[in-house]
C-alpha cells in the first residue's frame, strides 16, 4: 500500500499542528505507522490522498451513521449555505432539530445546542451543580466525556477521596470534586454516595461504554443507578454522544430500563457537522441562562448550516427499517469476526450493541476498564495494520468503537470478514 503522499502531508502538518493532527487519536500512535490523510468519502468508503480506498468503520468516530456524503445531508448543507451560514440570531432550523430530539429522546423535554460533545457534558455538569446546589460528580473509570477538566480524572485512593488529574495541565483542585468508580459496579456507586453524603450533584455515564472499546451495561445495572441516584436526589446524566441515535432512534435509554434526568448528545445529531446538545427535564433545563442562573453560551451554537445537516440525518434515521438494517449488517459482521477468531484459535472477547462493536485480544470477558486493559494491544496493532493493507479502516485504537453505517453493503461485510480472516490466520 503506497502512502507516500500521506507521509509527506504528515511531515508538513507537524510543522504547523501539534502532532500533525487536530485530535490526538488520529495520529496512529496507538497502532504505529503514520496517519492517512483522507481525500474523500462516499457511502461506506473513504479514499486517502494516495488513492487507496478503504471500507470505513470509524465513521468520523460515530457521526456518519448514514455513510459519507449522504445526498440528503449534502443537499441540506448546500441549500442552507446559499442563504448564509450563521446569523447569531434564532432560526427555525434550531427549533426543528430541537423538536426532533425532544420527540425522540425520552429524558429530554428541553434541549440546548452547543458545538461539541465536550461542551455538552461540561454544560450538563454545570447545570446539575447549579440545579442541586451540590459540587461533587461521580464518573465511571474508562468512560470519556470530552476534554472537560473536571472529568479528566482517575480514581483517588478510596471511595471518599477525590479524583486525581488524569493528564497534565489540570490542577488537582479541578478534580477534587470528582469521584471515580468502575463500570458495571452499582455497589461501588452506593459506597461512594454514602461516603460523600448529600454532596453529589450528579453521576455521568456512557450507558454503553464506547471509549474503552464497546462494553454493554450488565442487566439491571442502569436501573440500579437510576434507583440509587433518585434515592439521594442525585441527577443521573447519560452521555449519549456516541449512543444517541446510534443504538436506537431514542438512544440507549430507549433500549434499557433507565431514563436519566439529563442526556448529552453529539456526533450523529450534527450529520457530520459540529453539533453537541444537552437536555433533560424542564425544571432542570430552566436553570440554564437566560431563564436561570447557570451560564452557558456559544457563538455558533445552533448555526443553520449544522442544524440542517442534523435535521436531514435524523429524518432519514426516523424512516421505517433503518435500525433493522443496521442491526442485520452489524450482526453479520460480528458473527463473521467471531467465527474468524474461533477458527484460528485466537483468544478474543467480542462485544456489540446494535451497530457499534469491538473485539478485544483477551480471554477475559471485558466488562469494565480493568478487564479492557487485559487486551493484547500489540496484537491489536498488528490486526489494525493488516486490515489497512487489505482496504479496511478500523479505529486506530483498541479502546474505541467500530461503527457500521446504513451504507455498508452485504458485500462490504463479506470483504471485511475475509480480510480479517486472512490477518487473523497470520497474527
Ligand atoms: P467531542 O468534544 O469530541 O465532540 O465529544 C466528546 C465526547 C463526549 N462523550 C463521548 C461518549 C465521546 O465519545 C466523546 C468523543 N469521542 C471521541 C472518540 N471516542 C472522539 C474522537 C476524538 O477525540 O478525536
pLDDT tens profile 92-111: 999 999 999 999 999 999 99
Ligand 1 neighbourhood includes 61 CB (under 6 angstroms) = yes
Pocket test for ligand 1, best of 241, 270, 271 (most atoms within 8 A of CB): 241
Instruction: Count the neighbouring beta carbons within 10 Å of the beta carbon of residue 345.
Output: 7
Distance (angstroms) between ligand 1 centre and the Cα of 144 equals: 7
- Global pTM reads 0.98
How far does residue 58's CA lie from ligand 1's centre (Å)?
Answer: 12
Q: What is the DSSP string of 291-328?
A: TSSB----TTTT-HHHHHHHHHHHHHHTSTTHHHHHHH
The whole-number pLDDT of residue 197 equals 76
**Mean of pLDDT over the chain:** 96
Q: Which of 266, 268, 398 to mutate to test the pocket of ligand 1 (most atoms within 8 A of CB)?
A: 266
| Cβ–ligand 1 contact at 400 (below 6 Å) | yes
Q: Which atom of ligand 1 is nearest to the CA of 25?
A: 24
Instruction: Please say whether the beta carbons of 214 and 355 come within 8 A.
Output: no
Closest C-alpha residue for ligand 1 atom 21: 61
Over residues 376-401, the mean pLDDT reads 97
The reply to whether ligand 1 has any atom less than 6 angstroms from the CB of 405 is no
For residue 148, give every residue at least 6 positions away whose Cβ sits within 8 Å of its Cβ, in sequence order, or none. 118, 121, 122, 125
* Ligand 1 lined by 123 (C-beta under 6 Å): no
pLDDT of residue 162: 73
Q: Which stretch of 159-168, 226-235, 305-314 has the lowest confidence by average pLDDT?
A: 159-168
pLDDT the model gives residue 257:
81
- For residue 266, give the ligand 1 atom closest to its CA: 4
For residue 226, pLDDT beyond 80: yes
Burial 250-270 (b: 16+ CB within 10 A, else e): bbbbebbebbbbbbbbbbbbb
Q: Summarize pLDDT for 36-46 with one digit per residue, the tens.
A: 999 999 999 99
Read off the pLDDT of each residue in 146-157 and give the average, rounded to a whole number: 88
Residue with CA closest to ligand 1 atom 9 = 145
Active site residue 267: yes
Active site residue 144: yes
Strand partners, 271: 273
Confidence of residue 398 (pLDDT cuts 50, 70, 90): very high
Catalytic one among 54, 144, 249, 323?
Answer: 144
- Does residue 159 have a pLDDT over 70? no
Q: Which of 362, 329, 335 is nearest to 348 (CA)?
A: 362
Q: Is a pLDDT exceeding 90 seen at residue 379? A: yes
Tell me the average pLDDT across 85-92. 97
Label residue 155 by pLDDT band (50, 70, 90): confident
pLDDT at 21 over 90: yes
For residues 123-128, average pLDDT: 98
CA of 2 to the centre of ligand 1 (A): 30
Ligand 1 atom nearest to 119, measured from its CA: 2
Q: Which three cell numbers stand for residue 144?
A: 470519556
pLDDT category of residue 158 using cuts at 50, 70 and 90: low
Percentage of the residues of the chain whose pLDDT score is greater than 70: 99
Q: Which of 21, 28, 146 to mutate to test the pocket of ligand 1 (most atoms within 8 A of CB)?
A: 146
pLDDT at position 90 = 98
Told to judge if 239 belongs to the known catalytic residues of this protein, a careful annotator would answer: yes
**pLDDT, tens digit (0-9, with 9 covering 90-100), for 315-371:** 999 999 999 999 999 999 999 999 999 999 999 999 999 999 999 999 999 999 999
Atom of ligand 1 nearest to the CA of 243: 11
The residue-averaged pLDDT of 261-268 equals: 98
Amino acid at each position: 500500500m503506497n502512502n507516500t503522499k500521506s507521509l509527506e502531508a504528515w511531515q508538513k502538518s507537524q510543522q504547523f499542528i501539534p502532532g500533525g493532527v487536530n485530535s490526538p487519536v488520529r495520529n496512529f500512535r496507538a497502532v504505529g505507522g503514520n496517519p492517512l490523510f483522507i481525500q474523500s468519502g462516499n457511502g461506506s468508503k473513504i479514499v486517502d490522498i494516495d488513492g487507496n480506498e478503504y471500507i470505513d468503520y470509524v465513521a468520523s468516530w460515530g457521526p456518519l451513521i448514514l455513510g459519507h456524503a449522504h445526498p440528503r445531508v449534502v443537499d441540506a448543507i448546500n441549500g442552507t449555505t446559499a442563504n448564509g451560514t450563521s446569523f447569531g440570531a434564532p432560526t427555525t432550523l434550531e427549533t426543528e432539530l430541537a423538536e426532533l430530539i425532544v420527540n425522540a429522546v425520552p429524558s429530554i423535554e428541553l434541549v440546548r445546542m452547543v458545538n461539541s460533545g465536550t461542551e455538552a457534558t461540561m454544560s450538563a455538569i454545570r447545570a446539575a451543580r447549579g440545579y442541586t446546589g451540590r459540587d461533587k460528580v461521580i464518573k465511571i473509570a474508562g468512560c470519556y466525556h470530552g476534554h472537560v477538566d473536571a472529568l479528566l480524572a482517575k480514581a483517588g485512593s478510596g471511595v471518599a477521596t477525590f479524583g486525581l488529574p488524569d493528564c497534565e495541565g489540570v490542577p488537582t483542585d479541578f478534580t477534587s470534586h470528582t469521584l471515580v468508580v468502575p463500570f458495571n459496579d452499582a455497589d461501588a456507586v452506593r459506597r461512594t454516595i454514602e461516603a460523600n453524603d448529600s454532596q453529589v450533584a450528579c453521576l455521568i455515564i456512557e450507558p454503553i461504554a464506547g471509549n474503552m472499546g464497546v462494553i454493554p451495561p450488565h442487566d439491571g445495572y442502569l436501573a440500579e443507578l437510576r434507583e440509587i441516584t433518585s434515592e439521594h436526589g442525585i441527577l443521573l446524566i447519560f452521555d449519549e454522544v456516541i449512543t444517541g441515535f446510534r443504538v436506537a432512534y431514542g438512544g440507549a435509554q430507549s433500549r434499557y430500563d433507565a431514563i436519566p434526568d439529563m442526556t448529552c448528545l453529539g456526533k450523529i445529531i450534527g450529520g457530520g457537522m459540529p453539533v453537541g446538545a444537552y437536555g433533560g427535564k424542564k425544571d432542570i433545563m430552566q436553570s440554564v441562562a437566560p431563564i436561570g442562573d447557570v451560564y452557558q453560551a456559544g457563538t455558533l451554537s445552533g448555526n443553520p448550516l449544522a442544524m440542517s445537516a442534523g435535521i436531514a440525518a435524523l429524518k432519514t434515521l426516523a424512516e421505517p427499517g433503518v435500525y433493522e438494517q443496521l442491526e442485520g449488517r452489524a450482526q453479520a459482521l460480528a458473527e463473521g469476526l467471531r467465527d474468524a477468531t474461533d477458527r484460528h484459535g485466537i483468544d478474543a472477547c467480542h462485544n456489540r450493541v446494535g451497530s457499534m462493536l469491538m473485539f478485544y485480544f483477551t480471554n477475559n470477558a471485558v466488562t469494565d476498564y480493568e478487564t479492557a486493559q487485559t487486551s493484547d494491544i500489540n496484537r491489536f496493532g498488528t490486526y489494525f495494520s493488516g486490515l489497512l493493507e487489505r482496504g479496511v479502516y478500523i479505529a486506530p485504537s483498541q479502546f474505541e468503537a467500530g461503527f457500521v453505517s446504513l451504507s455498508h453493503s452485504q458485500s462490504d461485510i463479506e470483504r471485511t470478514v475475509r480480510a480479517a480472516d486472512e490477518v487473523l490466520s497470520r497474527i
